[in-house]
Structure 1
């Protein structure tokens, strides 16, 4: 699928639930978000139907997200079925790692192509402050479980927040101790993320150079989207950045998103899109759904306006509800 800017859209991020077992301060309020009733969440057969149609249109890469995707039952089943769709080359998962010890074996058997684990600090006290849960040891066990499967690429995702005690170089050091890549994802000014300090890529690259030696751009393609990577002298794994604000990459964006309720979005920032759930549940044929998907892709915005003073139709939901 080619959008109005000539970008090839071949990647979809699919949220399977808006529920989570953490309460990260930049994602949701302390009491969590109001849980969406189960009947309003897309069933697996509905997700699979949409993905078959998308595969026919050129989507080849799928990322499963949440909330926390592993709080939904039978996610390995969904991975296995997605892998059977002709044209789907990669199915990957983003998780907070807490349940990964329990599910990694089944995910591997289902054919998962990659795991991303979100981890913003190695400091137990700060982890409790950020996530409002005392579960850092669970995440560490999840990382260890994932590393047992060397054929499944593992990435650690960290959101710099500017909080006292958040040692970004301690997270980066995981790429030296383990065969993993570490990525720093700039805070998105959406929902609760708006109130945290912005730390840009250039500042972190400077910290890397001071801590680990020479930092040089890496031309290898190591992910589904427009993230880019560096080779760092003293680290085995690569250090990556998803720098949507300081190094805007909208001209290279290749993704669309579908929420757990079946709302298809072409850009994280805007609420515009199409309600596929209603089509799925009111007798629409595959052609109708295909037309809706094409419409969303064709109208994909040229780029985000996070730095603009006033934005029309700005996304009002928090990241857990969107599918981060």
Structure 2
């Protein structure tokens, strides 16, 4: 079992398998060249697996595969299958922009993937192009539908940005309602790699927008996730949307600026560069790449424990409002 200095059990790993991405989202990496390296520059997936096996043996129960865009890795399906073969009980998920998802959804499910988080910042073609610099709405929506059909559990993530897509908060919420898919709204996380001048909405503003049409009530803070969850009564959805659900609809808001965001943090990250990151909003990291490449399990474990020892109690939004980290390297 891995426990940090504040008594939190660390049983969740976010693994970035590449910094390459086929989108250039305004809140992430808008000024990065499209030809960002090739797969030969990524850490080999068999070396990443060396780390994952050690983490699982030490009690990690949940793994999320991220990027960049993880579906750019040509062997991502057998990689996930290898993780599941090693630990069939593992809760394994993947975060994607869904541009490449449709043909991979069933192979990923068959390999053992249980859940998938998909970015959906707009339902309008021109806005997706504006936000991501990619004409991708049709492929995104097709990827969502196919993943839903094959039985992957889906969460949709939206980053509301002032003057760009905040008028679509209700539209995207209702898109999720109609399909029984959870929508999570993410406060824009200020970082030095984002487009200059963009601004997001905070939790209270997002809630106020939703409450113009739907009453909400606090449900709970996710036990193994960063979101605060809210409920909308099913009868309100039927009255407003004409859709009958068999239970209340639950949506989430991820609010890293809130004081209680870090209290139950149970995760550390492995970046696409092979560095262990104890906190997304601090600059400290521990290089573990060479140990992974060698398959040196003792060194991997030593560095993993050191990372957890260095995990801070909370992020430093209060003193440093803009993160210097590249989220496309750490997986956000």
TM (normalized to structure 1)?
Answer: 0.91
Aligned match for 1:268, one of 256, 280, 300: 280
**2: CA distance between counterparts of 1:319 and 1:99?**
20
SS in structure 1 of the partner of residue 211 of structure 2: helix
**2: CA distance between counterparts of 1:149 and 1:68?**
21
Offset of 1:128 from its aligned partner? 1.1
How does 1:45-194 map onto structure 2 within 5 Å?
A: 45-86=46-87, 89-150=90-151, 152-166=152-166, 167-193=168-194
Offset of 1:163 from its aligned partner? 2.3
Is the CA contact (8 Å cut-off) linking 2:39 and 2:73 kept in structure 1?
no
TM (normalized to structure 2)?
Answer: 0.89
Q: Does 1:321 align with 2:323?
A: no
SS in structure 1 of the partner of residue 86 of structure 2: coil
**1: CA distance between counterparts of 2:165 and 2:155?**
22
Rate the CA distance shift 1:165–1:118 in 2: closer, same or farther, 3 A: closer
Deviates more, 1:270-279 or 1:85-94: 85-94
Rate the CA distance shift 1:99–1:289 in 2: closer, same or farther, 3 A: same
* Partner residue, 1:297: 308
Offset of 1:44 from its aligned partner? 1.4
**1: CA distance between counterparts of 2:311 and 2:53?**
21
Offset of 1:40 from its aligned partner? 4.3
Deviates more, 1:121-130 or 1:232-241: 232-241
Is the CA contact (8 Å cut-off) linking 1:175 and 1:182 kept in structure 2?
yes
* Partner residue, 1:255: 267
Offset of 1:81 from its aligned partner? 0.9
Rate the CA distance shift 1:285–1:30 in 2: closer, same or farther, 3 A: closer
Rate the CA distance shift 1:29–1:300 in 2: closer, same or farther, 3 A: same
**2: CA distance between counterparts of 1:57 and 1:51?**
10
How big is each residue's C-alpha offset from its partner over 1:210-241, in whole Å with a ceiling of 9 and x where there is no partner? 212x21222485x7423221111345542111
Moved over 4 A (4+): 36-40
Offset of 1:316 from its aligned partner? 3.0
Report the RMSD for the aligned CA atoms in angstroms: 2.1
**2: CA distance between counterparts of 1:284 and 1:154?**
33
Is the CA contact (8 Å cut-off) linking 2:98 and 2:119 kept in structure 1?
yes
How does 1:221-232 map onto structure 2 within 5 Å?
A: 221=222, 224-232=224-232
Rate the CA distance shift 1:247–1:302 in 2: closer, same or farther, 3 A: closer
Offset of 1:31 from its aligned partner? 4.6
Is the CA contact (8 Å cut-off) linking 1:30 and 1:132 kept in structure 2?
no
Is the CA contact (8 Å cut-off) linking 1:215 and 1:231 kept in structure 2?
yes
